[in-house]
């Protein structure tokens, strides 16, 4: 079965590089699908920042990566033929305000809302994540837990 286009959430990337995580193997397989140029998976600049933040923080991951290692991992990710950067157009700011009216999140909840706003602005309505609950409030999204 072909892999449908969608956004890869930061947790997938984190588990793909964290060999201690129980979700490592399945995350790695999902990411390796992007070796195929016929696959279309996306990340956003925000997702890459979240990924970098976690993998370089020893409080968040048992064996943290150095800044140089994390930078190289991101470079390697961006060279995958089937992984593309989903741009954040100006329209995403308006989408974010619309989403905030319907879903007045607080704290870190804003980050998932920003991802959804970016997705909606680009007409991408599928997200691959282990944090399905973070996206369940959005009925127009297809949330895939690998």
| CATH superfamily label, 1-146 | 5'-nuclease (3.40.50.1010)
State the SS3 of the chain.
Answer: CCCCCEEECHHHHHHHHCCCCCCHHHHHHHHHHHHCCCCCEEECHHHHHHHHHHHCCCCCCCCCCCHHHHHHHHHHHHCCCCEEECCCCCHHHHHHHHHHHHCCCCCCHHHHHHHHHHHHHCCCCEEECCCHHHCCCCCCCEEECC
Structure tokens at 76: 């390697």
Angle between helices 109-121 and 91-102 (to 10 degrees): 130
pLDDT averaged over consecutive 10-residue blocks of the chain (146 residues)? 89 96 96 95 97 97 96 98 96 95 93 96 97 90 94
Q: Under a CB-based contact definition with an 8 Å cutoff, are residues 5 and 40 in contact?
A: yes
pLDDT at position 44: 97
HSE-CB of 136 using CA atoms within 13 angstroms: 6
At 69 the pLDDT is: 98
The domain spans of the chain are 1-146
Cα separation, 12 vs 122, in Å, equals: 21
Q: Which residue has the tokens 């996206």?
A: 135
* Confidence at residue 42, expressed as pLDDT on a 0 to 100 scale: 98
- pLDDT at residue number 30: 96
**What's CA 74's distance to the chain center, in Å?**
13
């Amino acid at each position: 079965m072909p892999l449908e286009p969608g956004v890869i959430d930061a947790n997938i990337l984190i588990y793909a590089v964290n060999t201690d995580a129980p979700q490592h193997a399945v995350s790695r397989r999902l990411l390796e699908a992007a070796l195929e140029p016929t696959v279309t998976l996306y990340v956003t600049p925000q997702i890459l920042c979240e990924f970098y933040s976690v993998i370089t923080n020893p409080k968040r991951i048992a064996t943290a990566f150095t800044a140089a290692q994390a930078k190289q991992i991101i470079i390697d990710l961006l060279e995958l033929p089937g992984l593309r950067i989903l741009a954040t157009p100006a329209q995403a700011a308006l989408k974010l305000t619309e989403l905030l009216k319907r879903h007045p999140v607080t704290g870190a909840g804003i980050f998932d809302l920003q991802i959804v706003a970016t997705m909606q602005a680009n007409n991408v309505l599928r997200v691959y994540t282990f944090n399905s609950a973070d996206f369940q409030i959005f009925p127009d999204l297809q949330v895939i837990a690998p």
